[in-house]
Each structure stands twice: as C-alpha cells, then as structure tokens.
Amino acid sequence: MIQKIDLAGSFTLPGTSMTLNRMGYGAMQLAGPEVWGPPRDVDAAIAVLREAVDSGVNHIDTSDYYGPHVTNQIIKRALHPYGKDLVIVTKLGARRGADKSWIPALSRQELIDGVQDNLKNLAVDALDVVNLRVGGMMEPTEGSIEEQLTVLAELKGQGLIRHIG
C-alpha cells in the first residue's frame, strides 16, 4: 500500500495556477512489455492508477505513443471523469513503428495528429501540459525546434493545449 503524500511537498508550476505534488506517476509501464500493446492485467493497471491518485498523486506523465494509445486509454478508463486537481502531462514528438521502434514524429501534421490522438484517448477538450520530445532515444540531436514549438503555440492558441512544457 502506498503512503499518503504530504501535500507540503507541492509546488506551483511557474506561470500557471497548477499546483503539483512532488510525487507524480509515470504511466509508461502501464502498457505491455516493451511499452507495446496492453498490459497482461488491465484491471491491475487500473487499480494502480486509482491507488496512486487516492494516495495523493495529482499529476500523471503519459504519452499516446505508449502502447501505442494503450496507456492513455487505461488512464481514461481508470480516472475519467478526472478530478479538478489532476494534471495530465503528455508528450509529443515520437510515434511507434509496427516493429515496436521509436520514430521521431516532429512534422507539423504529426504534432497535430498527436494532439488529436491524446485528446481522443484521454477524453479531454484540452491537454493540461504538452512536453515536446526531441533528440534521439539515447543522445541529443542538433537543430532548431522553432517549427515544432510554433505548431504547439498555434494549438495552444486554439485552446487544445493549456501549457507547453
């Protein structure tokens, strides 16, 4: 059983009104082996999420490329409708190949599609925080991220993203 988190260990995200507890939940391992497909026990994954939130976790780190789509669908099944204090932080910038590979997905359309997939699979009208994943899996890469951040800023302007991480 997880111990209840001391809320004194919380902080407000700069420039927002979002207060996060220092302990969050990384949802990557909710998917099956190699972060692919469903977990062996979906009910257990749902129970883990509910226990985490019941224990004081108020932010979840996820991405629709986990599974793919599986992790966000489990989050939705476990926690929707979401509590007003729950912050879901998702990532864009990659996708999964049929061979389970991790492929950069940084074009304008891939970012737009990624936002739409996250919105649909989490069943929300806007994403709380979107982090942009850039670089290689194990090392940084060279180049500007201006184009990608411009797309995210446009989506924020449309009300689909609340904050860009």
pTM, full prediction? 0.89
* Between 75 and 22, the higher pLDDT residue: 75
Amino acid (one-letter) located at 91? K
How does the average pLDDT of the chain come out, rounded? 91
| Catalytically annotated residue among 25, 65, 66, 82 | 66
Q: How far apart are CA 114 and CA 162, in angstroms?
A: 15
Q: Taking a C-beta distance cutoff of 8 angstroms, is the pair 124, 85 a contact?
A: no
* CA-wise closest residue to 49 among 69, 77, 18, 7: 77
Clarify whether 66 is annotated catalytic: yes
Q: Specify the DSSP element, H or E, that contains 151.
A: helix 146-157
E strands, 7-164, in order: 10-12, 19-21, 25-26, 59-63, 87-92, 94-96, 102-104, 127-132, 161-164
pLDDT tens by residue, 94-123: 999 999 999 999 999 999 999 999 999 999
Domain 7-164 in this protein, CATH class: alpha beta
Q: Would you place residue 138 in the very low, low, confident or very high pLDDT band (cuts 50, 70, 90)? A: low
pLDDT digits (tens, 9 = 90+) for 1-52: 444 545 457 777 777 888 878 789 999 999 999 999 999 999 999 999 999 9
